[in-house]
């Protein structure tokens, strides 16, 4: 479904990604793990059209998408849930959700879409009338994910969804990612919570200094001595 080949990208004179190649198949949960500053967010931003790919190719459903405008990439069916939630704090939860359906095809059916999304996120329904800024961090994260689902994505990209959540909420968040995948949406997940992520993922890539150094199934990476030493502390 998504294919990156030898992608390089950076900011100004600094090159952050070098020769990054990765694949996400339809229906898979694929993860990218790596230390702070390894280039995970930059990878996601490059494939969403926010950072320019300087070299290499990005294909979605066999068509080139590298360096299309971000809204054109959303229109193809790729939506990213950004790190740090980025809700509109003074708008209600419902208003935030409806803004997620800005894609032309999603807009026409946004009320029906809202019902579908709320079935997946029953807790969010209880908060519809509340201002987003008044929710707890965990609730805000759920709303951010629900808002991403409002654009009816085929590929949903998560950038560190468990960041700043308590252990119990981290479990709930991973459960939500699982439910999103079960609903038929393909998932690309960047996470610092390596153990949970590899348990959940079908496949994963290890990114170090802007380069993919290792890849395999979630189980293979969990067993890898390098992953265990560098990311799991044993």
Which positions lie near ligand ATP, rule CB under 6 A? Answer: 11, 16, 34, 36-42
Which CB, 18 or 103, lies closer to ligand ATP? 18
Closest CB 191 distance from ligand ATP, rounded Å: 9
Instruction: Calculate ∠ Cα 195-201-206, nearest 5°.
Output: 70
Distance in Å, CB of 227 to ligand ATP, minimum: 16
Nearer to ligand ATP, 13 or 234 (CB): 13
Nearer to ligand ATP among residue 121 and residue 231 (C-beta): 231
Interhelix angle 167-182/137-149, rounded to 10 degrees, is 10
First to last CA, the chain: 35
Contact in structure between 223 and 217 (CB atoms under 8 Å) = no
Q: How far is the CB of 171 from ligand ATP (least distance, A)?
A: 21
Which residue number, 36 or 233, has a Cβ lying nearer to ligand ATP? Answer: 36
Q: In the bound complex, what is the minimum distance in angstroms from residue 221's beta carbon to ligand ATP?
A: 17
> Which secondary structure element, helix H or strand E, spans residue 41, and what is its range?
helix 40-47
**In this structure, is the dihedral angle defined by the CA atoms of residues 86, 179, 205 and 50, taken in order, positive or negative?**
negative
**Of 166, 97, 111, the residue nearest 138 (C-alpha):** 166
Phi, psi of 52 (to 5 degrees): -75, 135
CB of 88 to ligand ATP, least distance (A): 22
For strands 53-60 and 2-11, give the pairing: antiparallel
Select 39 or 77, whichever has its Cβ closest to ligand ATP: 39
Type and span of the H or E element at 197 = helix 194-200
Closest to ligand ATP by CB, 46 or 224:
46
Least distance CB 129 / ligand ATP (angstroms): 33
Q: How far apart are CA 218 and CA 215, in angstroms?
A: 9
């Amino acid at each position: 479904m998504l294919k990156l080949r030898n992608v390089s990208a950076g900011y100004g004179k600094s090159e952050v990604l070098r020769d990054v190649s990765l694949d996400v198949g339809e229906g898979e949960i694929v993860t990218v793990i790596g230390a702070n500053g390894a280039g995970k967010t930059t990878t996601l931003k490059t494939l969403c059209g926010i950072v320019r790919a300087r070299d290499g190719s990005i294909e979605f459903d066999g068509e080139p998408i590298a360096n299309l405008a971000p809204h054109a990439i959303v229109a193809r069916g790729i939506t990213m849930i950004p790190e740090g939630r980025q809700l509109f704090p003074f708008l209600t939860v419902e208003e935030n959700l409806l803004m997620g359906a800005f894609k032309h095809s999603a807009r026409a059916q946004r009320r029906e879409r809202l019902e579908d999304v709320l079935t997946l996120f029953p807790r969010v329904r209880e908060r519809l009338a509340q201002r987003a800024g008044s929710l707890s961090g965990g609730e805000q994260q759920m709303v951010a994910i629900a808002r991403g689902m409002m654009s009816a994505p085929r590929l949903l990209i998560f950038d560190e969804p468990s960041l700043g959540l308590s252990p119990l909420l981290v479990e709930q968040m991973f459960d939500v990612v699982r439910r999103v995948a079960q609903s038929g949406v393909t998932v690309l997940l960047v996470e610092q919570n390596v153990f949970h992520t590899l348990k959940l993922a079908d496949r994963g890539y290890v990114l170090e200094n802007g380069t993919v150094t290792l890849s395999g199934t979630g189980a293979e990476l969990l067993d890898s001595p390098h992953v265990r030493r560098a990311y799991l502390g044993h």
